A and B are shown apart, each in its own frame.
Chain A
Amino acid sequence: MVQFRFDLSLPLRAFRLELALEVGRETVALIGPSGAGKTTVLRALAGLLRPERGRIALGEKVWLDVAGGIDRGPEERPVGFVFQDYALFPHMTVAENVAFGGRTRAGELLERFRIAHLAGVRPGELSGGERQRVALARALARDPKILLLDEPLSALDAYTRAGVRAELHEILRDLALPTLLVTHDFQDAGALADRVGVLADGRVLQLGTPSELLAAPTDPFVAGFTGANLLPGLARRGDGGLTVVALADGSLLYSTDAAEGPVSVVVYPWEIAIGREPAEDSALNHVRGRISTLVEVGNRVRVQVGPLVGEVTAASAERLGLEPGHEVVASFKATATRVVPGGDVTSPPAPTPSRRRG
């Protein structure tokens, strides 16, 4: 099996990017905040910039070996690169864009990506989803051996996004090429990738399947990136094999994870039940507070209670008559409460909407 391996090291503005990875016939997502070096990795792999040290090889073929003096140009690396905003050639039609990568497969790809009817249209007239299909078709026309996708969904509005994401997932599965994609959105990464690496300050904090990252984040930063609530506190051993975490406001939370010392309590919004009174079930943890915000996300409502964000269905939100300012109780089980070392998290980034630079 052809393996794509690389080991890169190059200085960025505030830190050094150090990354080594092996990618088989799978999709690996690198997620991290803006400025973490995600795009730089893709550019280095494609040959658009040269790392200070490193080696890139696809199977037996070496693309880059800085020590050995090998550095193939971008045109000599069989890479399919899909740029963040797709970088379609505005002066060419859809068909010309796709044929730019290679003429022989262009017709077939237009059919396959359902853009044949747009063959004579220029990119400026296409919708976001259509542009993405054209960009993918163009990248594949070259018959690449690996695929690099830079924020493939960030140029799309929330409405188109879910549909295109599902479509892209299917395409990637059918292609079965070693694929590396970067995104700042854990949901996109989780939906598209077999493995996800969380990148911060130039290095991978954790690499694993999406469910591994959700179930067992090794680091508060990783937990924050997956969309979890983070509450810093001090852990000690309590009764019955439980860990007791004292938060800054003095309240206590219980977890089945073993830990001691400064920690972060990790709990996901969908593990939190919201009620007028503490839930009378097995949930051990209760946080009382006022609702500060209510945000509808599809058929769910995100409710911010004190430091926590919980999710309830739109129907229950209505049944409970939740309004900002109401006092409610957020309850969650000790078994759904993760405790990870490192209490003084410097503002872990919540997944932010795509930030665009002018």
Chain B
Amino acid sequence: MRRHAFAALLVVATSFALAFLLLPLLALFLRVTPETLLRQLGSDVALDALVVTFKTSLIAHVFILGVGTPAAYLLGTRRFRGRRLVIALVELPLVLPPAVAGIALFAAFGQQGLLGESLGAFGVSLPFTQAAVVLAVILVASPFYLRQAIAAFEAVDPRLLEAARTLGVRPLRAFVRVALPLAAGGLGAGSALAWARGLGEFGATIMFAGSLQGVTQTLPLAIYGQLVQDFDTALAIGAFLVVVSGALLLAVKFLPSWFSSASISPFRSAPSGSS
């Protein structure tokens, strides 16, 4: 009997958790009709926010992938002193409160900031521009990609890279033809995760870039801005973000296994050299 009671407790707890997590999301869709949601998504505020979000997150993502991939390759495949510390530092923004990220960006790139004067000399002022949105997104989203990408490169058998070298290939080509394809699943998942985090970025953006419609007002900022003025539009944007985030989550969950069906082999866990 005891065992049944415990099993029942587990089921109740799981149902409760599921209900609590999904109820608000469900409410988002039940509160207004789908037609209203679609119509409100076509409003100026929502469309402007959509364009700003798409543009800034795309630019941020190009930087994250472009700089993050080679950095993750280095950190994932080379062993050096202080490597673990470097990886920990890379992951620091993951646990940073968004408000801290915002104020830190000010401290670094604001007019009175560390680099503010040098930037000012070139006539560049970052705060409250679209570039500021991009910086905020990169700061909070890139660790999600880096973490995943480092793990993906770590999982590539180093002997495959050595084999490529002994077959007459330079390190860059070994990276492109062997490491990248084998890490693709993990890189894709990390990329989706980072994009999802970047889409939802709120705290650092509102502090460092403000919330100017059509310039720096991203979708999450628009929800906040419309909360009082036009609740339906806020709801519509919210529902839209749920759909996008859900799609990205599915990508994170299933990308690695799709790729692994092509890339996992018995060699992965093969022994290292005998001497």
Indicate the member of B177, B265, B270, B273 with the most A CB atoms within 10 Å: B273
Q: Is the CB of B275 within 8 A of A39?
A: yes
Task: Kindly state the separation between the CA atoms of A150 and B265 in the bound complex, as whole angstroms.
Answer: 20
**Could you tell me if B162 and A74 are in contact, using CB atoms closer than 8 angstroms?**
yes
Contacts of B270 in A (CB 8 A): 84-85, 87
Q: A74-B166, A79-B166 are in contact. Are A151 and B262 (CB under 8 A)?
A: no
- Rounded to whole Å, the gap between the CB of B48 and the closest CB of chain A is 43
The verdict on B55 contacting chain A, using a C-beta distance below 8 Å, is no
A43 to B273, CA, bound (A): 10
Q: Is the CB of A357 within 8 A of B272?
A: yes
Q: Which residues of A contact B159 (CB under 8 A)?
A: 83, 85, 87
Is B33 an interface position by the 8 A CB rule? Answer: no
Assess whether B164 is interfacial by the CB under 8 Å rule.
yes
User: B160 at interface (Cβ–Cβ under 8 A)?
Assistant: yes
B264 within 8 A of A: yes
Stretch of A28-36, A253-261, A304-312, A323-331 lying at the B interface: A28-36
State the CA gap A73–B168 with chains docked (Å). 9
Please determine whether A89 and B165 come into contact, CB atoms closer than 8 angstroms.
Answer: no
Interface 0/1 of B238-275, CB less than 8 Å to A: 00000000000000000000000011111111111111
A39 touches B166 (CB 8 A): no
B173 to A: closest C-beta gap in Å = 9
Indicate if the CB atoms of B168 and A355 lie closer than 8 Å.
no
Q: Does A358 contact B (CB under 8 A)?
A: yes
Q: In the complex, how many residues of chain A place their beta carbon closer than 8 angstroms to a beta carbon of chain B? A: 48
Q: Give which listed residue, B164, B263, B275, contacts A34 with CB less than 8 A.
A: B275
The listed residue (B167, B263, B272) touching A101 by CB distance below 8 A is B167
CB-defined contacts of B178 to chain A, threshold 8 Å = 89
Let me know if A46 is at the binding interface, CB within 8 A. yes
The listed residue with most A CB atoms (<10 A of its CB), out of B160, B170, B274, is B274
Q: Give the one of A35, A37, A80, A87 with max B CB within 10 A.
A: A87
**Chain B residues in 8 Å Cβ range of A154:** 274
Q: Count of B residues near A, CB < 8 Å?
A: 30
A48 touches B265 (CB 8 A): no
Inter-chain CA distance A130–B80, complex, in Å, is 38
**Contact residues in A for B165 (Cβ distance below 8 Å):** 47-48, 73-75
When distances are taken between beta carbons in the complex, the residues of chain B under 8 Å from A35 are 274-275
Residues of the B chain whose Cβ atoms lie less than 8 Å from the Cβ of A138: 167
Q: Per-residue CB proximity of A37-70 to B under 8 Å, as 1/0?
A: 1111001001110000000000000000000000
Residue A203 is within 8 A (CB to CB) of chain B in the complex? no
State how many angstroms separate the Cβ of A40 from the closest Cβ of chain B: 6
**In whole Å, how far is A152's beta carbon from the nearest beta carbon of chain B?**
12
> How far, in whole Å, are A35 and B274 apart by their CA atoms in the complex?
6
Within the complex, what minimum Cβ distance (angstroms) separates B257 from chain A? 15
Q: Is B163's CB under 8 angstroms from A85's CB? A: no
**Chain B residues in 8 Å Cβ range of A358:** 269, 271
Digit string of A72-102 for contact with B (CB within 8 Å is 1, else 0)?
0111010111011111111100000000111
Interface flags, B157-200, vs A, CB<8A=1, else 0: 10110111111111000000110011000000000000000000
Task: Let me know if A90 and B268 touch, CB within 8 A.
Answer: yes
User: With A and B bound together, what is the CA distance between A101 and B164 in angstroms?
Assistant: 8
Judge whether A40 and B274 touch: CB under 8 Å: no
Residues of A within 8 A of B263 (CB): 90-91
Cα-based distance from A84 to B166 in the complex (angstroms): 14
- B167: which of A91, A142, A151, A356 is its contact (CB, 8 Å)? A142
Q: A288 on the interface (CB 8 Å rule)?
A: no
* A343 in contact (CB, < 8 A): no
Would A87 and B163 count as touching, CB distance under 8 A? yes
Complex Cα distance A87/B177, Å?
14
B274 in contact with A84 (CB, 8 Å) = yes
Chain B residue at minimum C-beta to C-beta distance from A357: B271
Interchain CA distance A220-B264 in the complex, whole Å:
45
Indicate if the CB atoms of B168 and A87 lie closer than 8 Å: no
Residues of B within 8 A of A355 (CB): 274
Enumerate chain A residues within 8 angstroms of B275, measured Cβ to Cβ: 32, 34-40, 182
Q: Are B273 and A84 in contact (CB under 8 A)?
A: yes
A interface footprint on B39-82 (CB within 8 Å = 1, 0 otherwise): 00000000000000000000000000000000000000000000
A124 vs B169: C-alpha distance when bound (angstroms)? 23
**Could you pull out 20 A-B pairs where Cβ atoms are within 8 angstroms?**
A35-B274, A35-B275, A37-B275, A40-B275, A43-B273, A47-B166, A75-B168, A75-B169, A75-B170, A83-B162, A85-B267, A87-B160, A89-B163, A89-B178, A90-B267, A91-B263, A102-B168, A123-B267, A184-B274, A358-B269
Q: Which residues of A contact B (CB under 8 A)?
A: 32, 34-40, 43, 46-48, 73-75, 77, 79-81, 83-91, 100-102, 122-124, 138-139, 141-142, 150-151, 154, 182, 184, 354-358
Q: A39-B273, A87-B267, A100-B177 are in contact. List 19 more A-B contacts (CB 8 A).
A: A34-B274, A38-B275, A40-B273, A43-B273, A46-B162, A47-B165, A74-B166, A77-B166, A87-B162, A87-B163, A88-B267, A89-B164, A90-B182, A91-B263, A122-B265, A142-B167, A150-B273, A354-B274, A355-B274
